[in-house]
Amino acid sequence: MENVFNFEVCFEEELPQNICKQCSWNVQDFQCFSEIVEKNQDKLKQKYASSMKLNCTGDGSMEKMDHDSCDKKKLSKESSNK
């Protein structure tokens, strides 16, 4: 369960310990989907790592910048700090 959900699932004696077949399939489908997304993210990072620098932004999206624009941003930051 911890591979599927980003929160702890508590198991208590008072609560049911089983789920219906449909819910079980939904969890399995979501886990498969999550694994596919993760593999695709890895492939994209590998494919574009040599020519592009990928920056993860605070909202979870990715920003891509080529090396020239990275250098320009770095230079502008350095000059503004002087």
pLDDT at 25: 93
Q: Which CA distances in Å does 44 have to 4, 15, 29, 76? A: 22, 42, 23, 29
pTM here is 0.50
Could you read off the pLDDT tens digit of each residue along the chain, which spans 82 residues? 677 777 888 888 888 888 899 999 998 999 999 999 999 999 988 888 766 655 665 565 655 555 555 555 555 555 554 4
Q: Which CA distances in Å does 14 have to 7, 10, 38, 44, 66? A: 20, 11, 36, 45, 56
User: Which residue type is seen at 68?
Assistant: D
pLDDT at 28: 92
Q: Which CA distances in Å does 59 have to 22, 27, 37, 62? A: 32, 25, 17, 9
pLDDT at 10: 81
